[in-house]
A and B are shown apart, each in its own frame.
Chain A
Amino acid sequence: MHDLLINYVVAEICGEHTLQLNEEDLLLEKGIVDSMGMMRLVLYIEKKFDLKVPPEDMTVENFRTIKDIGNYILRKTN
């Protein structure tokens, strides 16, 4: 799952295929992704994993790293 997410971020959001991204990188805090970009990731996740992310869940904590996002998805789909 993490790879899937990483690929999406790198290819679709950053548009820089050479970017090395790992699951512990601080996406928002390091400015890798801005808020609109993060929203695109959310839309992607919603579609891919068939879930709905309510606005209250859109916190730094839930979307800090690829790992955190993965955990969030797991929580929502169980």
Chain B
Amino acid sequence: MNTKGIQKKGLTHSQILLWAGQQLSPNAPLHNTAHTFDISGSVDHKIFVKAFQETIRTTDALRTVFFNEGGVPQQHVLESIEFEPECIDLTGKKEEGEIQGIVHGRSRWKLDLEKRAFDCALFKINETRYIWFLNMHHLVTDAISATIVYKRVVAIYSSLEQGEPEGYTNFPQYTTYVDFEQRQHLEERSSEIQEYWENKASAGSEQPVFFGRKPGNSVTEATRVSLKLGKERTEKLKALAKRPEIRSWTHNLTLFNLLATVFFTYLHRISGQNRMRIGAPAHNRLNKSLSETVGLFIEIFPLEAEFCEDDTFNSLLQRLKIEANQYLRYAQPGSVTPKISGSFNVILNFINASFSDFDGRPMKSEWLHTGHIDITHQIRCHVVDFDNRGDIELLFDLNHGTFSQDLIHKVPLHFLNLLDAFLEDPNQSVYAPSMLNTIGEEPATTLGADSDHRNTVIDEFKIQAVSNPVAPCLRFKSETTSYGELDGLSDRLASFLLENGTKQGDRIAIHLERTPEYLISILAILKIGGAFVPVPSNLPKQRIEYILEDSNCRTVLTTSQLKRNIEDASLKSVLLDIQKEKIYAASPKLNPIHVDAQDLAYMIYTSGSTGKPKGVLISQGALSNYINWAKDAYANSEKYRFPLFTSIGFDLTITSTFLPLVTGGELVIYKESGQGPDIALVEVFEENKVNAIKLTPSHLSLIEGRNVSNSKIKTMVVGGEDFKGQLAESVQDNFGPELKIYNEYGPTEATVGCIVSCFNRTKHKKTSVPIGKPILGMRAYIMDSHKNKVPQGVVGQLYLGGLGLAKGYANLSETTSEKFIENPFIKGDRLYVTGDLARINQDGEYEYLGRIDEQVKLRGFRVELTEIEANLQNYPGVKNGAVVLIEKKKAIPEDEVFNCTECGLPSNYPNADFDESGVCHICNAFKNYEERALRYFKTEADLKKILLDPNLNADREYDCLSLLSGGKDSTYILAQLKRMGLKVLAFTLDNGYISEQAKDNINNIVSKMGIDHIYGTTEHMNKIFVDSLHRHHNVCNGCFKTIYTLSTKIALEKKIPFVVTGLSRGQFYETRLTEELFWHDEMDSAYIDEIILEARKLYHQEDDAVKDLMDTEMFQDDSTFQKVQFVDFYRYTDVSLEEMLEVLKNDIGWQRPTDTGRSTNCLINQLGIYVHKKQRGYSNYSYPYSWDVRMGHKTRQETLDEINEYIHEEEVLRIMKEIGYEESGETEINQEHLVAYYTGDSAIPSMELSDYLKKYLPEYMVPRFFKYVEELPLTQNGKVDKEALKQLNLSQLDLDTPYIAPNGEMEELLASIWKEVLQLERVGSEDNFIALGGHSLAAIRVSARVKEEFELDVPLNKIFELPTIAEYAAHVEKTIIALLEES
């Protein structure tokens, strides 16, 4: 190797990315770019060698080798490389397959990049057929480069053959490009370009998952499948591309756009993702010289598309045209970054390159696939027409991580279906064409064999009763009822009913507890050919009434006690307790009746989305189909012994009710205990009498801690909810391997259960146990939103058909026709639209993926909540999880905000309510108590009396300390105090942000008036600001508190008896004189003073930065509040704004500061406004200003101007930095959050859970909040009540206390008061008042309402002493009891 004159260079960006990819899989030939050229003719080996060697000599890329220098890759261009392409004689081989195998095999040979980045050989197949094999590592080539090399070799060969002189010029060198690229990077990259790609790469950064399969981590193996479009189709495509509304600048670009449209559609249809990116390589050869250079030029940039429901191929194409034009603009060489490269997992590679013949000899080229591609690429689609045949070929490289063998061969067919649909009619919906072939492809449906059972359940029961009359059938406590007895009793009841006017076909309600009478009733009703309507004993009256009416029952079987629930007197009640004797005196002989499969068997009511329950009509045929299937499917070695312990209104219970009866088994009855199903469940396990059970997963979690190793249960049928794998495993572990666990899926509308699987722990390893396969007599389809059957593995909605379908809903013909549709595949057949999502897995089993409404869209991504839950539950310590999507309060857009016509309060102020005249609730309320409130205000004479009280120390230096902010209010006060002849010390807090003009103002004023003045400061001011921002979303709170603290301190030191504040009247109403204080007439001003003083004491005790950092000890001592009294000047004066301004101008020369931009002295003020607006969506001045307007101190227009005033964001950010405030990045508004609730032994740090989930779930599926709860709330039917979970407030979610619902009337009442005062949607029993945002003013309001509610005076501070509802309620109860005892 000639080492002289080696050029050493770094790598270009594209090269680095490839190099890195190769390093990750060093032995995988994923970057071998190999071609074969199958030449018809003879090739002279010697000439060929020379041609190739000349080519090496003149092409620097071929002389490039690569080294890893300490982790940094380098390329060295050698002066020469010795290489002679060998000629391999394959003339002995006759089998084409073998020949291809040998040739292809060479493409997988590993290239030693330190020696040579290419390989070349000539295979002689026979005298007139040669195959030229050329492999170049992608680091030195791309598609166009391969054609250049080919062309050069052929040209030289041709010259040599014709004896032309040697001496070929060098190609333009790749190193020139490398240098150019390096230079580009050193220069300022255009920020516009950078920004464009940054945005493209980040927005919605998740990559789609295809066919529901997440790729395994280290798979490079892939298969290439070819799809030749054929001449006809290619022509059609080209014709479409010529249409003016379709075409772009060039034919190739147009073709690209068309294919991209189909490709995106395909990806969308197999992933369900709305928004996605594909990578498209740009050839980057921007001038003639570059287009003749060999080397790696391509850079891959993303194209993005977002789908809408009503997209047609054309509408999508039009958007892609724009997108492609943008791409052209921004895809500048050297712009790609790792982030951009990582933002897509799919490639569309439009190769505009071709190989001509080999010096006159016909040639057929093939681009070889090595069987490996980039780890991160799941699908690559190459569009080629290498041999310029006018026949476009699509090559799909499919990563084995996503694609199984059978799927791989379907991909081209799926794609073709879409392409053909597009070519046929560009204006059809992208969802319309089916991707599946009509012939040959297995549609996602399973046809259970038709059941030919004709026996009704009564028939089956009779068989058992006749063959074994003495066998026990029902057990209830200590009673046993035999088959014969049950048969007899039900016969008699049936007779009784017939004698009393009931006819075949009637619907009869059963309103009973779980007792033997329930069974007798069911059988009796079925025996007379009627339909039973179970009405559970614990239903609220309203609902009972509704059901009875809606179902059109004329008769109800009940007991004397339960009869009280039935209001309708026209209903005939049969009281099975009182009328027992009469009933059983009836004749046991029943005439045989004939029942049709279509006759109604029962009606069960399910919850309806409109708020009223829906009655589902189930026929005899449907019931028989299920029961007859189940009795065999669930059979174990013994006869069934099922417990009856679930609600009779739940169709889950049908299984337990009938299976024993039709098989000679036993039904052990557990009555309701009045406290819900839980206790009954516990009894079942305690008594351990049964060997089979039907229950929900939530039931299972309730018994999880129990030792069930002795349990006799051998058959467990689980239904009603998604059954998590974790739970199934744990149940299997606890019960032992003999337990057979079945997962039974079925909506009520398809009769109890219709898709069932048997849990197999070796097979079922996923997060949820699959629901299995349809039972006999039932069908299932999985279809997309356009009723196309989806390919196996793709998620779609589940549709059910078959014998088990309900007839419909009672009295709801519209809903019935919506939910029961015509089967698009079988004429005359019906399907039920389940609203459930499912897919078929690789084993052919159905998997349940949640409700359509539980499938949420989070920022354009599909999120399966059940998936998050199951993963969460895998974490040790988490028992059960439920995830909900909470949509935060939406901020009202600026232009939709309107203002109170009187005070200007904006409509985005929380809970703002406006009447028809546009007047806000605060103005209206104020009108009611204003008069009473005036009692609170006094006169100047009163003020003088206080300040010049003769009992005060005559030697005092100052009469009062006056808080001087420099604003008009406080300045006016100074003037007045002076006029009144008082000795005043003025105090100003210098918080570091007082404007210069304001300071000047202050200094001028105090000097002019000859008043002593102090500036107070504290080194902790910035920390106090930050704390105030976090706590109150403003800066003023912290500032005020500091003023009060410092001024009190000074007053104490100097023995000044009074601090005079400049709180305006408006501010009184804003901060103290809340409406509640004036509800009672007896609240006189002295009383109000007391309350305010109490509130003040509490205020100073609040645990915040001021308390922590400053010296606030004095506030612990009650006497402080005696020694220094706060006096609000404006309580004693009612001066008009005009008068005030007059005095200020004429007598004092006060100047309004202009350097702060608003009516304040303070430069940090706007930071508070900015933060508040951002975090809470409205201005914190809305409320205070409204009071100013009510007081006449501001006009409404001034308020509007100021609230909407522009905030200098840069300035604000600068100050934020100065004081050390970091925005939390979380605002309360306009965000959707996933919130996970979980149970377990104790709360787990959210960070841990979040980190764990990030390992298994895409970022956007990891919940933002995790809340530990003691129990997940359940609905009546034992399922998790997600609606209840959605009700929480963000700040509550940050708390670590578990949510416990308020218990008992007192707690509930208090909770409702707190909710109102603190403006929350839900308050838990253990939540802390202060942590929820409670403060002294809120305390006043709560106490006032407690007083209102209970006529009880609870001291204000109690709420801080006993800050939880539980404690506070206990105290109130104790107090009330004590009072009652006294009297």
Which A residues form the contact surface with B (CB < 8 A)? 12-16, 28, 31, 34-40, 42-43, 55-56, 58-60, 63
- Indicate if B287 sits at the interface (CB-CB under 8 A): yes
Contact between A43 and B329, CB atoms less than 8 A apart: yes
Contact between B248 and A35, CB atoms less than 8 A apart: yes
Given A55-B325, A58-B328, 9 other A-B residues pairs in contact with their CB atoms under 8 A? A28-B249, A34-B252, A35-B328, A36-B282, A36-B328, A36-B331, A39-B329, A55-B326, A60-B244
- Indicate if B1197 sits at the interface (CB-CB under 8 A): no
- Nearest B residue (CB) for A37: B286
**A37: which B residues are within 8 A, CB to CB?**
286
Q: How far is the CA of A46 from the CA of B249 in the complex (A)?
A: 18
Contact between B250 and A35, CB atoms less than 8 A apart: yes
**A40: which B residues are within 8 A, CB to CB?**
286
- Nearest A residue (CB) for B287: A15
Q: Which of B244, B286, B325 lies in contact with A58, CB distance below 8 A? A: B325
CB distance from A27 to the nearest CB of B (A): 9
Contact between A38 and B287, CB atoms less than 8 A apart: no
Q: How far is the CA of A59 from the CA of B247 in the complex (A)?
A: 8
Question: Known interface pairs A12-B287, A13-B287, A43-B329. Does A38 touch B249 (Cβ–Cβ under 8 Å)?
Answer: yes
Task: Write 15 A-B pairs (CB below 8 A) sorted by A numbering.
Answer: A12-B287, A13-B287, A15-B287, A28-B250, A34-B250, A35-B248, A35-B253, A43-B329, A56-B322, A58-B248, A58-B249, A58-B325, A59-B248, A60-B244, A60-B249
Which residues 251-280 of B sit at the A interface, judged by CB distance below 8 A? 252-253
**A36: which B residues are within 8 A, CB to CB?**
282-283, 286, 328, 331
9 closest cross-chain pairs (CB), A and B: A15-B288, A55-B325, A39-B328, A55-B322, A35-B253, A58-B325, A15-B287, A35-B249, A35-B250
- Nearest B residue (CB) for A16: B288
Q: How far is the CA of A40 from the CA of B331 in the complex (A)?
A: 11
- Nearest B residue (CB) for A55: B325
- Nearest A residue (CB) for B329: A39
CB distance from A46 to the nearest CB of B (A): 10
- Indicate if B218 sits at the interface (CB-CB under 8 A): no
Residue of B250, B283, B287 ringed by the most chain A CB atoms within 10 A: B250
- Indicate if B976 sits at the interface (CB-CB under 8 A): no
CB distance from A39 to the nearest CB of B (A): 4
Residue of A14, A16, A35, A40 ringed by the most chain B CB atoms within 10 A: A35
**A35: which B residues are within 8 A, CB to CB?**
248-250, 252-253, 328
- Indicate if B579 sits at the interface (CB-CB under 8 A): no
Contact between A14 and B249, CB atoms less than 8 A apart: no
Chain B, interface residues (CB within 8 Å), range: 20 to 34
Contact between A63 and B249, CB atoms less than 8 A apart: yes
Contact between A14 and B325, CB atoms less than 8 A apart: no
- Indicate if B817 sits at the interface (CB-CB under 8 A): no
Q: Which of B247, B282, B288 lies in contact with A14, CB distance below 8 A? A: B288
- Indicate if B785 sits at the interface (CB-CB under 8 A): no
CB distance from B176 to the nearest CB of A (A): 13
**B287: which A residues are within 8 A, CB to CB?**
12-13, 15
**B249: which A residues are within 8 A, CB to CB?**
28, 35, 38, 58-60, 63
CB distance from B508 to the nearest CB of A (A): 70
- Nearest B residue (CB) for A38: B249
**B328: which A residues are within 8 A, CB to CB?**
35-36, 39, 58
Q: Mark B393-423, 1 if CB is under 8 A from A, else 0.
A: 0000000000000000000000000000000
**A13: which B residues are within 8 A, CB to CB?**
287
Q: How far is the CA of A3 from the CA of B1198 in the complex (A)?
A: 61
- Indicate if B289 sits at the interface (CB-CB under 8 A): yes
CB distance from B330 to the nearest CB of A (A): 9
Q: How far is the CA of A77 from the CA of B244 in the complex (A)?
A: 26
Q: How far is the CA of A75 from the CA of B287 in the complex (A)?
A: 29
Q: Which of B247, B248, B283, B289 lies in contact with A15, CB distance below 8 A? A: B289
CB distance from A34 to the nearest CB of B (A): 6
Q: How far is the CA of A12 from the CA of B288 in the complex (A)?
A: 9
Question: Known interface pairs A35-B249, A35-B252. Does A42 touch B288 (Cβ–Cβ under 8 Å)?
Answer: no
CB distance from A70 to the nearest CB of B (A): 17
**A15: which B residues are within 8 A, CB to CB?**
287-289
CB distance from A55 to the nearest CB of B (A): 4
CB distance from B240 to the nearest CB of A (A): 15
CB distance from A22 to the nearest CB of B (A): 20
CB distance from A60 to the nearest CB of B (A): 6
**B250: which A residues are within 8 A, CB to CB?**
28, 31, 34-35, 38
CB distance from B551 to the nearest CB of A (A): 61
**A42: which B residues are within 8 A, CB to CB?**
329
CB distance from A32 to the nearest CB of B (A): 11
- Nearest B residue (CB) for A63: B249
Q: How far is the CA of A63 from the CA of B325 in the complex (A)?
A: 13
Q: How far is the CA of A28 from the CA of B331 in the complex (A)?
A: 19
**B323: which A residues are within 8 A, CB to CB?**
55
Q: How far is the CA of A35 from the CA of B244 in the complex (A)?
A: 17
Q: How far is the CA of A59 from the CA of B323 in the complex (A)?
A: 13
Q: How far is the CA of A12 from the CA of B252 in the complex (A)?
A: 22
Q: Mark B283-301, 1 if CB is under 8 A from A, else 0.
A: 1001111000000000000
Q: How far is the CA of A15 from the CA of B325 in the complex (A)?
A: 23
Question: Known interface pairs A35-B252, A36-B286, A40-B286. Does A60 touch B247 (Cβ–Cβ under 8 Å)?
Answer: yes
**A59: which B residues are within 8 A, CB to CB?**
248-249
Q: How far is the CA of A44 from the CA of B1146 in the complex (A)?
A: 66
CB distance from A41 to the nearest CB of B (A): 11
**B248: which A residues are within 8 A, CB to CB?**
35, 58-60
**B253: which A residues are within 8 A, CB to CB?**
35
**A16: which B residues are within 8 A, CB to CB?**
288
- Nearest A residue (CB) for B288: A15
**A55: which B residues are within 8 A, CB to CB?**
321-323, 325-326, 329
Q: How far is the CA of A35 from the CA of B331 in the complex (A)?
A: 12
CB distance from A69 to the nearest CB of B (A): 12
Residue of B244, B282, B287, B289 ringed by the most chain A CB atoms within 10 A: B287
Q: How far is the CA of A42 from the CA of B321 in the complex (A)?
A: 16
**B247: which A residues are within 8 A, CB to CB?**
60
**B321: which A residues are within 8 A, CB to CB?**
55
**B331: which A residues are within 8 A, CB to CB?**
36
Q: How far is the CA of A37 from the CA of B252 in the complex (A)?
A: 13
**A12: which B residues are within 8 A, CB to CB?**
287
**B244: which A residues are within 8 A, CB to CB?**
60
- Nearest A residue (CB) for B322: A55
Q: How far is the CA of A33 from the CA of B322 in the complex (A)?
A: 20
**A56: which B residues are within 8 A, CB to CB?**
322
- Nearest B residue (CB) for A64: B249
- Nearest B residue (CB) for A57: B325
- Nearest B residue (CB) for A61: B244
Q: How far is the CA of A43 from the CA of B325 in the complex (A)?
A: 12
Q: How far is the CA of A60 from the CA of B323 in the complex (A)?
A: 16
CB distance from A56 to the nearest CB of B (A): 6
Q: How far is the CA of A43 from the CA of B329 in the complex (A)?
A: 8
Which residues 313-357 of B sit at the A interface, judged by CB distance below 8 A? 321-323, 325-326, 328-329, 331
CB distance from A68 to the nearest CB of B (A): 12
Q: How far is the CA of A55 from the CA of B244 in the complex (A)?
A: 16
Residue of A16, A36, A43, A56 ringed by the most chain B CB atoms within 10 A: A36
